[in-house]
Structure 1
């Protein structure tokens, strides 16, 4: 079973249990907290994936960081995952849980990539575009990529709107390259 499948199955189980116990919002916050901890501390993720560090040591580290900061269900889940020697999958499980939470809550995830940090006005414009496309509430992930030169790339589900200058330049190169080739022969 691939890591993605493992993450999806565990996330689905946790989501169902959180719904059943009425702590879905709390567990979602916990999983987002876990994800942000992973993003801010790459060494923490390396520790979780390190086969040399035994599982009880990893559990004691998880306990020291999260036991008094997350819901009891979330920490019990961490303990179960660690006992099953799957702690290296926890970052992927946390990410997948949030995706499944968004589906459950009728929230559309979208990613906007620009060359600069968005102003609140632009952020709201992109949110309204995504809401119009999807008919759902929107969670907008913002990325900055100076290689775009200008413009933006908006990803909504499996759709992508690429209005970046770099993609237009690539298209022109392809068009001119093709036209030059056709004229030679």
Structure 2
């Protein structure tokens, strides 16, 4: 059995890097990112489109024709459209989600942005998000922090913040678990 995850990562990275270089040279990083995000949203919303992209059953010509129609209807053109169509012609659409993610990471690194994944028990307000961003900028070397907020009521309270490989867990659930373990050790 072969490990396809490294192959997908390699393919996605090569395609994303090539698109990034072209978009950077043409000063179109944000336009391409917006178009790729729009296509990514279409993928997540449509099970049929996702199946078309991932299925090896469809011929490259059929995928290209169908993807071309989707791109036209969505108003996605230029570098992003050509990129997605190239992936279809080269039978690499199965990795398009990883390519989009890779492109976003390259753009973020170029701009000095860092993404923080934040989990809270309840949705954070604008003031809380702004304060959290400022605290994270102060604690890191990032110029800009993008917050990917998620809500998980099971953490009961507090926050779980992950920036890169670092994670800070101040959730009430974790604190209660630690207290439970400590009380068991006392017995």
Query: Scaled by the length of structure 1, what TM-score is found?
Result: 0.89
Aligned residues, how many?
180
Query: Is 1:26–1:71's contact at 8 Å kept on the other side of the alignment?
Result: no
What is the aligned counterpart of 1:96 among 92, 95, 102?
102
Partner of 2:56: 51
Structure 1: unaligned runs, 5 residues or longer: 181-185
The structural deviation recorded for 1:151 is: 1.1
Partners of 2:9 and 2:159 in 1: how far apart? Answer: 29
Quote the RMSD (CA, aligned, Å).
1.6
Q: Which residue of 1 aligns with 2:93?
A: 87
Once the 2 structures are TM-superposed, how far is the Cα of residue 92 of structure 1 from its aligned partner? 1.1
Name the counterpart of 1:132: 138
Structure-2 separation of matches of 1:56 and 1:50: 13
SS across alignment from 2:33: helix
Q: Which moved more, 1:43-52 or 1:77-86?
A: 43-52
Contact kept? 1:34, 1:91, Cα under 8 Å:
no
Q: Paired residue for 2:124?
A: 118
1:177 to 161, 167, 184: 184
Match of residue 164 from structure 1 = 171
Give 1:22 shift: 2.2
Q: Per-residue displacement from partner, 1:54-93 (whole Å, max 9, x unpaired)?
A: 2222222221121362231111111211111110100111
Helix, strand or coil for the counterpart of 2:157? coil
Unaligned stretches of 5+ in structure 2?
1-5
1:165 CA displacement? 0.9
Name the CA distance, whole Å, in 1 between partners of 2:126 and 2:11.
Answer: 37
